[in-house]
Amino acid sequence: MRPSRTTLRSRAAASAAALLLAGCMVAAAGAGAGGGIYFTQRGVESVVPVTVERAATATTQAFGQLKIRPTKSETEQGKDGEKRGIEGTAGDREVSVTLKVEGKNATRVQVVAKRTAVTWDKDFARSVLDKIVADSH
């Protein structure tokens, strides 16, 4: 017996909902584990209640503690406020940290740890973000 089109549509909708819910669960797990840490497609991010300047200092400290060799640092002043990019290498990983103003006295911190052109190390990115958050307070 062949399933009807309605049954197939229902199954497709249920599958899509399950995938969406799984993505939300990953974000919720990250938030619960670290107080607002979210996994992105390539890394992790969080909003930290400090200025971009303080977050940049914490990033430099985290790089030192995790033996990440700084390779590039840039600052932009945009209409939404200051944005900083700090990059470095640790072994076979290229680490990229982006700091953006998020509201009043808060900074969105995004961390990506890239192993190859198509693979990322989210666990290492999480370690970097954890150090930045700890060093920013």
Cα(36)–Cα(48) distance, integer angstroms: 9
Q: Is the separation of the CB atoms in 46 and 106 below 8 Å?
A: no
Specify the number of domains making up the chain. 2
Q: In this structure, are strands 38-39 and 69-78 parallel, antiparallel, or unpaired?
A: unpaired
- The kind and range of the H/E element at 75 are strand 69-78
Residues 67 and 114 in one domain: yes
Q: Which of 51, 49, 37 is nearest to 128 (CA)?
A: 37
Residues 16 and 50 in one domain: no
- Tens of pLDDT along 21-79? 444 444 433 333 334 899 999 999 999 999 999 999 999 999 999 999 999 999 999 88
Parent domain of 10: 1-35
| pLDDT (0 to 100) of residue 32 | 33
pTM listed for this prediction: 0.73
| pLDDT (0 to 100) of residue 11 | 58
Residues 45 and 17 in one domain: no
